[in-house]
Chains A and B, each alone.
Chain A
Amino acid sequence: MTRIRFQQSLEDLKEQLLVMAGLAEQAIQRAIEAYRVRDLSICDLVSRSEIAINRLEREIDQAALDLLAMEQPMAIDLRFILSVIKINADLERVGDAAKSISDRVRNMEQMAVADLPVDIPRMASLAAEMVRKSLQSFIEGDADMARNVLTMDDAVDAMNRAAYKALTKVMEEQSHLAPQALNALMISRALERVADHATNIAEDVIFWVQGADVRHHKSLKTAPDPHAMG
């Protein structure tokens, strides 16, 4: 086998990305835990890991750029490095979403506990599962596992739409609970974004392993959703 140094560099890049992935996953888990037990100290942990995630994003992009410039990678190696760059960005957004959730939790700390008709924990666990699975498919280079993740996104989207409906109803009918409802809505949105990022990661894995670009394959299947807000 030739180009041993290069192969090693690719392995190192993968390792770096997995470290960052670990941090991002952990951030989501912590943010959800903070919501569940309403513990502000956990929110602090999330804020700190955000800094580490951002630093790693820069380092990984730099390493990938160097490999592109110096090693003239081809075919699967090229696709791998491209996927790493994209997954890198998605993981950083996952970190941002975690921070966003923990900020909402901080906000809600001041408010009274409200019993809202949304199952945030279930949505959260689904989204977290998607992240975990997409990263697992990356570790193993398993395109089938990645495709599986793509199918899970529909459930999360549905839950997000339901949450929107339920929470707007709460805000109309029980306006004293509006602040809590609003925060819950934003958390739901953040979780939906996390699921989207997990989907992106899965698509990137498929691109790397099979050379197939499966992005936006759903855009033709469903009509544009009027309730999907930015």
Chain B
Amino acid sequence: MGVGIEVINLNAWYGTNHTLQDINLNIPANHVTALIGPSGCGKSTFVRCLNRMHETNPIARVTGTVLIGDLDIYEDANPVEIRRRVGMVFQRPNPFPTMSIYDNVAAGLKLNGYRNHRALDEIVEKSLKNSALWDEVKDDLKKKSGASLSGGQQQRLCIARALAVDPEVLLMDEPASALDPVSTAKIEDLIFQLKSQYTIVIVTHNMQQAARVAEKTGFFLNGRMVEFDSTHKIFTNPSDKRTEDYITGRFG
């Protein structure tokens, strides 16, 4: 099951660049929340603050509070623990190139010392089924490498890999932007099915995608969150003029 995320006065910097300013936000559990905004508005940075990947950059800095469920992820936990509870799928599919499909999916578990092989088989199968890839690869699990799949399949493999560690939250940073329309549609259907088990946050450039998959949408601009409301409201009658100008394409 997913958990809700509460963000309180989040600020983030890259060196001297104040990338995120005073972000306050409540992401509901077991819903899909989309984050939209023009390039450089900070939405990717924001998402990387939710699983403490932002700080892997040596010049990055964060202040504020992020609560995942009841856990303050900056005060009460270390990054490695958090990243096991908050999974991430990246814009460009990045399966481990030297590993088979099976090993890719199992990587998160194996690399953390998981040894139970029979259970691993089950987990791999379940994850691949959950990411709608099982039927396409079930005969080649250990024979084919992760990198030999098509783009859309690779991305679903990355989703399976993220799901295998059983996170509560799934962060997706423009997951379909490198994919063709059919693969994109498959990923979107997948997101719809997954939300009953996970809380999903998706960053997207594609407003129609946000409109299709998300219940709530947040509009970021210049490091601030301008408006956060139901997707329906944002796309039919947003409250803020800047939001409206962005989604109607008058700028951005």
Contacts and interface: CB of A to CB of B under 8 A. Distances in A.
A binds B: yes
Contacts, number: 38
Nearest to A74: B247
A157 to B, nearest CB: 31
Size class of the A contact interface (CB-based, 8 Å): 10 to 19
A211 B237 contact: yes
A129 interface: no
A75 B244 contact: yes
B4 interface: no
A3 B250 contact: yes
Contacts of A74: 207, 211, 235-236, 247-249
The 6 closest A-B pairs by CB, nearest first: A211-B237, A3-B249, A74-B247, A77-B248, A75-B244, A74-B248
Interface string B220-252: 000000000000000111100000100111111
B248 A73 contact: yes
B164 to A, nearest CB: 36
Contacts of B236: 74-75, 78-79, 211
Nearest to A6: B249
Given A72-B208, A74-B207, A76-B244, A2 B249 contact: yes
A2 B252 CA distance: 8
26 contacts: A2-B249, A2-B250, A2-B251, A2-B252, A3-B248, A3-B250, A72-B207, A74-B207, A74-B211, A74-B235, A74-B236, A74-B247, A74-B249, A75-B237, A75-B238, A75-B244, A75-B248, A76-B244, A76-B248, A78-B235, A78-B236, A79-B236, A79-B237, A210-B237, A211-B236, A211-B237
Given A73-B248, A211-B237, 15 more contacts: A1-B250, A2-B250, A3-B249, A72-B207, A72-B208, A74-B211, A74-B235, A75-B244, A76-B237, A76-B248, A77-B248, A78-B235, A78-B236, A79-B237, A211-B236
Contacts of B252: 2
